[in-house]
Amino acid sequence: MKILVTAGGTTEPIDDVRGITNHSSGRLGSFIAQDFFLEGHEVDYITTRTAVSVKEKHRLQLHYIQSTSELKAKMNQLLTENTYDAVIHSMAVSDYTPTNTTSGSAFVAQLAKEIENAKTADLKETLTHALDAFSQTKQENKKISSDEEKLIVVLQKTPKVIQMIKEMQPQTILVGFKLLVDVSNEQLVHVALESMKKNHADFILANDLHSISGDKHTGLLVRPDGDYKVASTKQQIAKLIVQSVEEKVKAKR
Amino acid sequence: MKILVTAGGTTEPIDDVRGITNHSSGRLGSFIAQDFFLEGHEVDYITTRTAVSVKEKHRLQLHYIQSTSELKAKMNQLLTENTYDAVIHSMAVSDYTPTNTTSGSAFVAQLAKEIENAKTADLKETLTHALDAFSQTKQENKKISSDEEKLIVVLQKTPKVIQMIKEMQPQTILVGFKLLVDVSNEQLVHVALESMKKNHADFILANDLHSISGDKHTGLLVRPDGDYKVASTKQQIAKLIVQSVEEKVKAKR
């Protein structure tokens, strides 16, 4: 089988020296990639330079990315060049990316100007337009000076990378990941099913930040019918995913 | 000699799964710590879990921190408990930390309300107050929902950790670091001298992001009289710092 695994967390640049990072060590993804190639499968592995590296990394095809837009470009390339039996998308992808950053005082000055020149009496509309204009202004991406008391960062939603997977390869088995914070198993399954529908995933590994501590890691591998299996370490989650994907691929043949 | 070395980059939490990170591998700092203990000195080493680890790390005292406020607390503790011959503060510390994050629409609604209820006709004053109020509102630090088109993050300046070093230990030799982007050597030295004065540092290692690529790393070790020595790899910078600190400590005795 040919498998694509993504692992680690993206970083969106604020300027040349700062970025917004999604915390993810990439450790779970590294176990998944490892288990797939130990079972004799061919693995493409998209990760970041700050994520943990896979043991025996010479045995898989490594692709490094940093930002969400780099991930999107790399995914597009790999999904165009190859046909995957399964895609395991464990990377923590930034939902938002900084569009423009400025000092508090410059931000206030710009908003005040927009309000004074507004063509409508609707204050909310004026402010919404001002925010749009601000986020569309190109920022010089050098190091922002640290003399100001406040900085304002406006973030814009990023395109959902996971959605392009089934669009480009409807035949592939897609395993998505959903991380929530401090919710019940019922809520985990509920959100997993929603995510599955939206992204046409075959499995969602749903987990709660508060049930992760080192290699202890509670994960629910949810299926479209709402049934799920539970694993309690990163190694068990990796095994469960490899097994479930292999079964599903066999069943389809 | 007893030495304190800081290395890596801090991360300021936006919520439970995202943070603002200062990019720094901690590699230069790891060479500095290593060279100090190879010369027979005792080293306390403050770093982050995502920074590169030092070879033979059992030979130094490791202290892990993540955010600027954790760094400040750890520095305060170590500078209270120990007397250092020198402090090499190579860590890339966040100048700003997120105070509050909200959706674009909630932000607009709040600003509009403040303007409507304003007691002054001065729009800038009203907006400044609104921004202050917003940044003082406590945010629930869970995972922010990704349904909104825009997010607004307000960052507040952090206290300068470097300034507490000479305040607490006026006798110590302090080596500070200054990273700029795309400037001349004259500008590097100029900014280094300003930083030296403000922080009462004995040396500033000034460097330019564009002159760093892997182990190739141009660094100017600037002295209070404006004289400087140049090193062109991370290893050379480490050696230059160890040598200069040793000379300075001997000269003081």
For residues A88 and A45, what is the distance between their CA atoms, to the nearest angstrom?
Answer: 10
Q: Using a CB-CB distance cutoff of 8 angstroms, which residues of chain B are in contact with residue A123? A: 112, 115-116
Taking CB atoms and an 8 Å limit, are A152 and B152 in contact across chains?
A: yes
Domain-ending residue, one of B138, B157, B176: B157
Nearest chain A CA: its distance from B137 CA (Å):
15
Give strand pairing partners of A3: A43, A86
Cβ-nearest to A182 among B142, B153, B154 = B142
pLDDT at B142 over 70: no
Residue in A102, A126, A151 to test binding to B, most B beta-carbons within 10 Å: A151
Chain B contact for A152, CB < 8 A?
yes
Assess whether A29 and A80 both reside in one domain.
Answer: yes
Chain B residues touching residue A137 (CB < 8 angstroms): none
Q: Which residues of A touch B47 (CB under 8 A)?
A: none
With residue B247 as reference, give the H or E element that holds it: helix B234-252
Interface of A with B in 66-95 (CB under 8 A): 92, 94-95
Domain co-membership, A7 together with A89: yes
Of A123, A153, A179, the CB nearest to B116: A123
CB contact under 8 A, A156 and B148: no
Specify whether B29 is located in the same domain as B118.
no
Residue written as token pair 């959903």:
A178
Do B192 and B80 share a structural domain? yes
Q: Which two tokens stand for residue B181?
A: 């982007």
Cα distance between residue B6 and residue A126, in whole Å = 47
Based on the domain organization, do B8 and B46 belong to the same domain? yes
Strand order in the sheet with A173-180: A61-64, A42-47, A2-6, A86-89, A173-180, A203-213, A216-222, A228-233
A115 contacts chain B (CB < 8 A):
yes
Q: Is B1 on the interface with A (CB under 8 A)?
A: no
Cβ atoms within 10 Å, residue A137: 12
Average confidence (pLDDT) over B147-159: 90
Q: What is the 3-state secondary structure (H, E, C) of A100-111?
A: EEEEHHHHHHHH
Q: Taking a contact as any Cβ pair under 8 Å apart, which residues of chain A between 17 and 46 contact chain B?
A: 17-23
Residues B88 and B181 in one domain: yes
Give the per-residue pLDDT at B136: 85
> Which residue ranges of chain A lie beneath pLDDT 50?
none
**Domain match, B12 and B64 both:** yes
Mean pLDDT of B125-131: 91
Residue with the two structure tokens 């909310």: A124
- In chain B, the percentage of residues whose pLDDT exceeds 70 is 98
Report the gap between the CA of A28 and the closest CA in chain B (Å).
16
Q: What pLDDT score was predicted for residue A141?
A: 54
Contact A246, A39 (CB under 8 A): yes
Query: Average pLDDT in the B64-69 region?
Result: 95
Average confidence (pLDDT) over B4-29: 91
Domain count, chain A: 2
pLDDT confidence of residue A140: 62
Distance of CA A96 to the CA centre of its chain: 10
Say whether pLDDT at B170 is over 70: yes
- CA separation, residue A64 to residues A49, A53, A144, A164, B239 (Å): 7, 11, 27, 19, 32
Question: Rounded distance, CA A3 to CA A79, Å?
Answer: 11
Instruction: With CB atoms and an 8 Å threshold, state whether A157 touches B148.
Output: yes
DSSP notation for B177-204: EEEESS--HHHHHHHHHHHHHHHT-SEE
Domain end point (choices A112, A137, A157):
A157
* Residues in B 178-237 with any Cβ partner in A closer than 8 A: 179-182, 209
The C-alpha of A100 sits at a distance from chain B's nearest C-alpha, in angstroms, of 10
Q: Which residue has the tokens 């080493």?
A: B45
Answer for the pair A132, A116: CB distance below 8 angstroms, yes or no. Answer: no
Q: Are residues A11 and A88 in the same domain?
A: yes
DSSP readout, B86-141?
EEEE--B--SEEEEEEEEHHHHHHHHHHHHHT-SSS-HHHHHHHHHHHHHHSPPP-
pLDDT at B185: 94
Residues A240 and A168 in one domain: yes
Q: What percent of chain B has pLDDT over 90?
A: 70
User: Which comes out higher in pLDDT, residue A228 or B148?
Assistant: A228
> A165 — phi, psi (to 5°)?
-65, -55
pLDDT the model gives residue B202: 98
- pLDDT value for B120: 81
Pairing of strands A173-180, A203-213: parallel
**Do B143 and A24 form a contact (C-beta atoms < 8 A)?**
no
* Residue B128 belongs to domain spanning: 98-157
Grade residue B138 by pLDDT with cuts at 50, 70 and 90.
confident
- Determine the residue among B15, B17, B195 to mutate to test chain A binding: the one whose Cβ has the most chain A Cβ atoms within 10 Å: B17
Q: Which of B20, B91, B154, B208 should be substituted to probe chain A, the one whose Cβ sees the most A Cβ atoms within 10 Å?
A: B20
Dihedrals phi, psi of A88, to nearest 5 degrees: -110, 105
Same domain flag for A113 and A184: no
Residues A149 and A178 placed together within one structural domain of the fold:
no
Three-class secondary structure of residue B234 per DSSP = helix
The CATH code of the domain that includes B91 is 3.40.50.10300
Contacts of A11 in chain B (CB under 8 A): 21, 23
Better-scored residue on pLDDT, B58 or B4: B4
Nearest Cα of chain B lies from the Cα of A154 at a distance, in angstroms, of: 5
Look at residues A148, A156, A157, A138 and name the one whose alpha carbon lies nearest to residue A108.
A148
Tokens 């920022």 locate to: A139
**pLDDT, tens only, B82-119:** 999 999 999 999 999 999 888 898 899 989 998 888 88
Query: Which domain-ending residue is among B132, B157, B182?
Result: B157
User: Cα distance from A147 to chain B (closest Cα, Å)?
Assistant: 8
Distance from CA of A52 to the nearest CA of B (A): 9
Residues B181 and B228 in one domain: yes
User: Which pLDDT score is estimated for B143?
Assistant: 66
